[in-house]
Each structure stands twice: as structure tokens, then as C-alpha cells.
Amino acid sequence: MRTQVYLASLSNTGFGLNPASVPLQLGYIKAYAQSVLKDEIDVKIFITVESLLQAIEHQKPAIIGCSWYGWNIYLTTNALQYIKKKYPGILTVVGGAGAPEDEAGCLRDFGLFSGIDAIIPNEGEIPFVNFVKQFLAGGAESFRETKIDGVFYYDRHKERIVAGRPLEKTGDLSILPSPYLQGDLDEFLAMDLTPMIQTSRGCPYGCKFCVSGRSSWNKLRLFSTERVKQEIEYIEQNAVSKELRLTDENFGIHPRDEEIAAYLAELRREKGFPTALRMYTDKHINSRIKNITLMLKDLIPMNISCQTLTPEVQKNLGRVNISIEKFSEAAQWAHSNNINITTEAIFGLPGESKQSFLDVVNTFIKLRLDSSVIGTLFMLKETELNSAETISKYHYRTMYSVAERGYTKYKDFESVEIDPWAVSSSSFTFDEYIEMHEFAFIFNFFMTRGFLKEMVYAWDSRGVKIGAVILELIGNPALYPFIIDKIKRLHSCLLDNLFDTPEEVHIDFVRKYSLVNNGEYIGYMSPYILTCLLEGEMISSENQQVVIDEIARAAKSVFDRDGTGEEKDFFAEMDFLRQLIRLIIIPFWQKEPLAEKIYLDSPYDLVSWRAKDHSGTLSQYACKQPMKLVLKINSLSAYVQFIEKHAKEPYYLQSEYFFRSFRTNNIRRYIEMK
């Protein structure tokens, strides 16, 4: 009789499945385990607590292995604790990016989470097979005395860890069968989950805020090009979802990645797949990265991740960014080839102050990027930044909130997922944290979504800084009541839902949830989800003109104080850009079919302005005769699918799904370049 092995990568379900991705990591574990152990085991994969508990009630497994990461730390440990109370004989194992690499970290987690029997750090395929082999040979009791390579086992009777030797990373990835090509993930491809492809493993960069920055993960290894192509083809033919995500930390770092990009571009032309593509390219811009973004420019921007430009902070992170000069050259090249260019920054990194962060933001504007994302520091489990040493050195204070859609309830099981945030340090105060959260909300509406990109660059060319406009909006509630209402709601959300301990978050959420009608949506308790809902309100047909008018008035107020040039020219530019903004917003809520292209008679040559990196004032590009602009949706098919899927849902949910689904390249209409 085959030994039953259950694998779980648990997603919360209280407000819809989150995250909603194909569990590729468990596919690798299953495919490799079955290739080695063959008929000795029967492996099943689960992504929800409901399905896992139902399966256990039907047939109890010998072993449960769980994938552990920042989005399901509490759900996983709560589920395993629940299972162990009811079925103490089941062996439980966790592994993945949330697993500690050393004995001290494992001892801490075994103490915190009583439902865990064993921890597997780093890559799990070979250690998990070692674990199962030992069970098949000696049973559950044998783990107390037998050291398993790559595994930390906790003997709760003697309160000690039994650990084998650490294992090197899998050097030859060809020993790992493809879970896609074996059909191990077919049931999940049929569930409209986002498919993921891993073309390589490893990251040579040592960023302290990221789990991929660990030294144990710095060796780059590749799956074969032919295998990657076969997996992409299999997904195209079998997946309900037509989106695709590449999990590589630095796609384009290896020469063969151009061949994979060319294959994707050809598939896109011939079959319209994928309709959307998510990936991170290598941080260093070279000819290979340029070629990849050229081939895939209707799907991806050129992304240059920097997180900070402050030299001291970069040093504290052990991070080396490209120079400002190369950044500027990349932006110019991208714009000359009609490619969007994006970056990100994190407020709260070690040594970053409010002022130094605002300087980073101002530099982004000077670089004339198409999208800049700013956020606050998430204290991700098992990163160096979240270590006791770093927290002590920089005097970090961590507070906790409910995670986005982070709730699951099934019968008498209940779990609240909790996010840890750095809310103060030796370089910024709690009040500054709240202020920068509010600043980020407005900035991201302007620049991450790109709705006001052209207007912001028109301001900047006349001495009107984006930071000054945002502070004008925040500081004058009576003049800008609609936007201030949104900021106040975000402010209240932050103060009402940040707590000193995870236990307080759980208690507060359960209390609030008990006060609403059963199943009523209260995702607004997560600041991230609330910003999506607020942005949806701001761009709705009923409100977008009010929002644009308030922003334009704030900019005119700053111009009166700080601006340069003729007032009448600035006002004329603002009047035209207000009209442009309303047209570039894509009405994802409308029932009628969207036009791929719409047209606008423009008094300015915006095509030349963008090609020259939005340098100079907009009035310098005035036309003698109106110029017909083409405003295009880059991937209309993605909108068709989105509307078909969400048209019947209330507007606030449509808004959340929209801002979570669409990224820089397809979140607005873009000016078609000739």
C-alpha cells in the first residue's frame, strides 16, 4: 500500500483565493519525489485549508509538507497546529523562503510554532525525499535518533534538534522532472490560477531586505532552454489563465534568456499568449536587457530596481545600483524605442530619513521615468534586515497589521494572516512613517499608475515639484476636500489597524469581523487594499474630473509660489493635460467594448516631447496646427478577459482586482509613437 504524502501551499480564502498562483514549488517536490520513490508513495497537492482538511478526513496521510513564505506564515502554522491536535501521528514539515537556515533559527521557530516537526531550509526536493525515505525505512520514531541530510527535526520529548549535514544546492537542475510536462499541475492550470515558470535558480546580489539575498542562494543555475520552451507551450495549451509569471529574480542575466524572450514574443504574435507577463529583469542594463525589452515591449517595461539612491543606505544594504548617468542613458534609450521604464523605492531602509527619501523621489522625476513605485519597508521573515542584529543596530520598531485578504475560516478553524512593518528607526519617526504612507498613496496615484505622468513632468519643467504639490494637497483640507477625504481614510486605517503584537491583530480582526454580516467584505482593513479601493473611487466616471481639478488647482498654487515662465502658458498646458488624463484612464468598469485606440487633437507634439525624455516645457512643443494623437491600450485582450471575469462584481471589488492585476505597461492608454 502506498504511503500517503500531502503537500500544501496554503492560500487564504476568506475574501477570495489569495494568492492565486499555480503551486509550482510543490510541483517540483512532487515530481522529484515520485521519480525517486515511484510506487512507494502517493503525493497530492493542496492550496486551501478547506481542501486539505477534507482530504485528511477522508484519508489520513503519513506526512504533510508545506511551502512557507511571507504571505502564508500564520495560515500554515495555524493549520499545522490544528492538524496536529486532531491527528498527532501525522509528521509535519515546512520549507521554503520562510524557513531558517541555522539551528538557532529553527529552535526559535519550533518553540513558536508547535505544529511543526521538521524544517527544510533552501531547496526542498532532495531533503524532502531524504525525509520520506527515512520514514519508509524506520517510521516516525526513527527521526529522534537519525540525522537526515538537509533536515532539522525537533524531538519534543527531549527538547532538542536532530540535524543532518547541510546540503549543497542542486547543481544539475535536469535531475528535477518538469511538473508541467508530467501533468502534475493540470488541476491547477484548470482553476484559472496564474501559471509560473522558473527558468533559473539563484541570485548573485546580496540585498538584505530580500530572501534571495542570502549567500546560500547566490549561485546561478539554469533549466534547459528547450525544457522552458516546452513548459511555456504546455501552459499556453492547457491553462485557463492567459497570464504568465517568470519567477526568476534577474531574467536576462544569462545570454540564453534572449532566446526565451524571442520565443515568448513569437508566441504572443502567433497566438496572443500571454496577454500579460510579470517578470523582473536583471538590474544592470546591457544590450541583452535592451533586446529582451524590445522584443516584449507591449508586455513589460524596462525595470531598473533600485529601492534607494542614497549612498549611505546602499552601503548599509550591501547593494550596488547602476549610476545615475547610466540610469539616465537607459531612460533615453527606452523612450527613443517607445519602451516604458520603471523603478521602485522603499521608505524605511536602514539609514534612510524622510528628507533623503524625498530626494530619491525627486531624482526619479528628474530621470523622467514612466512609472515609479514607492512603498514602506516590510520586515520579511528570514531576511538579514529582519535579524535581531539589524533591528538592534538601527533601532527598528515593528508593528503588525492584517495582511491583504488574509483571513480563512473553515468549520472551527480560523486564521488571520499578519504583516510586519518597520514603523520607526533611528532615522525616521512613527509620525514620519504615517506621513510617508500618505505621501506614497498620492505619489503612486500620480506616477505608479502613470495617470498624471505627463502633468507631473509639465510641472517639473516649470519648477513645480511633485513633492510640493502633494504637500499642498495634504496641508490644505478646505481647498481639496475630495482628495483629503481619501487621505483621512487611509490615515485612520493605519492608526486603527497597526498593533504592537500579532496577537492583538488577530483579536482585533476577529472582533471586527464578528460585527459585520457573515461574509461581508472588510478588506479595507489592509492599507494596501484600501489604497486600491480609494484609487478606484478617484478614477470613476463620477469623480475623476473633481480629482483632476483639485490636483490642477494645487499645482497652480505651487506655481504661483515657485514656478517659472509665463502663467498663461502654464495654465494652457494644465487645461490640455486635464483633458488628456481623462482619456488615458481606461474605464475597466464599462460594459461596452473598449476601443483599442482613441484619438485626440493636440495643440502640442507629445510624441516628440516623450521621445526627448519630456525635456523642456510642454509649450516648447506647441504645434502650428493641431496634431492627432493616438492613445492606445497595449494589451486589449487582457481587458476583455478582465471585464468578462469581473463585470458582475461590485465596483469596489473591480477596483481592487484592477489595481492588483494591471501593471505599468497596460494600466492606462499610452501615446502611440510613430
Sign of torsion over alpha carbons 647, 653, 654, 657: negative
Say if residue 519's pLDDT is above 80: no
Neighbours of 398 (CB within 10 A): 15
pLDDT recorded at residue 674: 55
pLDDT recorded at residue 178: 98
Hey, which bits of 232-349 come out as E strands? 243-246, 276-278, 302-303, 341-347
Give the full edge-to-edge strand order of the sheet including 302-303: 302-303, 341-347, 371-376
pLDDT recorded at residue 112: 93
Say if residue 118's pLDDT is above 90: yes
Say if residue 526's pLDDT is above 90: no
Question: DSSP labels for 194-241?
Answer: BPEE--EE--S---TTSGGGSGGG-S-EE--HHHHHHHHHHHHHH-S-
Pairwise CA distance, residues 577 & 571, whole Å: 10
Pairwise CA distance, residues 369 & 613, whole Å: 8
How confident is the model over 450-475, as a mean pLDDT? Answer: 94
Give the full edge-to-edge strand order of the sheet including 597-604: 597-604, 622-632, 670-671
Contact (Cβ atoms closer than 8 angstroms) between residue 300 and residue 251: no
For residue 302, what pLDDT band results from cuts at 50, 70 and 90? very high
Query: Percent of the chain having pLDDT more than 70?
Result: 97
Say if residue 512's pLDDT is above 80: yes
Residues listed for the chain: 674
pLDDT recorded at residue 522: 66
User: Mapping DSSP to helix (H, G, I), strand (E, B) and coil, where does residue 366 land?
Assistant: helix
Cell of 218: 547566490
Quickly name the fold that domain 3-163 has.
Answer: Rossmann fold (3.40.50)
For residue 211, what pLDDT band results from cuts at 50, 70 and 90? low
Pairwise CA distance, residues 177 & 231, whole Å: 11
pLDDT recorded at residue 217: 66
Pairwise CA distance, residues 454 & 451, whole Å: 8
How confident is the model over 616-643, as a mean pLDDT? Answer: 94
pLDDT recorded at residue 16: 86
Say if residue 213's pLDDT is above 60: no
How confident is the model over 574-583, as a mean pLDDT? Answer: 96
Provide long-range contacts, Cβ within 8 A and 24+ apart, for 264-272.
264/232, 264/295, 264/296, 264/299, 265/295, 265/296, 267/232, 267/233, 267/236, 268/296, 268/298, 268/299, 271/236, 272/242, 272/637
Q: Where are the alpha helices (DSSP H) in 100-170?
A: 103-112, 125-138
How confident is the model over 442-471, as a mean pLDDT? Answer: 94
How confident is the model over 197-217, as a mean pLDDT? Answer: 76
Pairwise CA distance, residues 215 & 206, whole Å: 7
pTM of the predicted protein model: 0.91
pLDDT recorded at residue 3: 97
Q: Which stretch of 167-171, 331-335, 630-634, 652-656 has the lowest confidence by average pLDDT? A: 167-171
Residue 660 CB partners (closer than 8 Å, separation 6+): 532
pLDDT in tens, 222-280: 999 999 999 999 999 999 999 999 999 889 999 999 999 999 999 999 999 999 999 98
Sign of torsion over alpha carbons 344, 274, 655, 657: negative
Q: Where are the domains of the chain?
A: 3-163
Contact (Cβ atoms closer than 8 angstroms) between residue 236 and residue 273: yes
Contact (Cβ atoms closer than 8 angstroms) between residue 452 and residue 551: yes
Pairwise CA distance, residues 155 & 144, whole Å: 6
> Which residue do the cell numbers 506655481 mark?
559
Q: Which stretch of 63-77, 318-332, 617-631 has the lowest confidence by average pLDDT? A: 318-332
Say if residue 404's pLDDT is above 80: yes
How confident is the model over 633-652, as a mean pLDDT? Answer: 92
Say if residue 633's pLDDT is above 90: yes
Q: What is the mean pLDDT of the chain?
A: 93
User: Mapping DSSP to helix (H, G, I), strand (E, B) and coil, where does residue 513 land?
Assistant: helix
Name the helix (H) or strand (E) containing 469. Answer: helix 466-475
Pairwise CA distance, residues 300 & 280, whole Å: 9
